[in-house]
Amino acid sequence: MARQLDEQITARFPLGRRLRVLDVGMGQGTQALRLARAGHAVTGLESDPGMLATAREAFALEPAGIRERVRLIEGDGLETGVHFLPGSFDVVLCHGVLMYVSEPDAMLAGLARMLAPGGLLSLLVRNGDALALRPGHAGDWGTALQAFDSAMYTNRLGLRVRADRLETLTATLAGIAAPLHAWYGVRVFTDGAAADAVVPDGEELERLLSAEDRAGRTEPYRRVAALLHLCGVRG
């Protein structure tokens, strides 16, 4: 996904420009830290105090030049209008958050308002059109059959959450003046890997990432990815 995001940023903004980035639901700060290291001014918004503390610890280990480009705030993605003025950011990230939001349209509209004209909205969501694949590959036929008729599923943390469909989000993005510009699949081949699976290194890791990247932008593979990465552009 980082490759996909960098591709969209490079295509939209002049090389070397310091972008104003908002990472909503930033978790441990993986993407926020990566973008701060790349020279951008990053604001992280996170509602979980534990995750926020972990992110603060990670940033505290960075050089002063990186730390001064980062602002971390405890808050919810539904409250962006409380913390920021409309048009305050060039890029807004919302990765792995919408599955926890029962009615996402209001939140998405708020995120779009945070974007300056021409700004990039990056969403990472669970693919509602591929919910049956993971239980099907595991031989859990009952759960697989249920997945054909519902957008709800139980994630690996044991929480009951929801998935999104490409067609629905495409319409939503158009309605909030940030129409879909590009989309990718994420975790086409590796979704079934165990949580404790050993990550390969060296050339094997590069081959894995290259295969995932290729599948994530190629039909029909991207349509059955576990996750979808959607990029909307503010008009």
Q: What is the pLDDT of residue 156?
A: 86
β-partners of residue 73 are 45
Express each pLDDT in 189-215 by its tens digit. Answer: 999 888 788 889 899 999 999 999 999
CB–CB of 103/163 below 8 Å? no
Q: How far is it, in rounded angstroms, from Cα 226 to Cα 235?
A: 29
At 195 the pLDDT is 78
Residues near 170 by Cβ (< 8 Å), separated by ≥ 6?
180, 230
Nearest to 156 by CA among 114, 202, 184, 193: 193
Q: What is the pTM of this model?
A: 0.95
Radius of gyration of the chain measured on its C-alpha atoms:
18
Provide the pLDDT for residue 81. Answer: 92
> Average pLDDT, stretch 95-100?
96
Q: Which residues are CB-neighbours of 191 under 8 A, at least 6 positions away? A: 133, 134, 225, 226
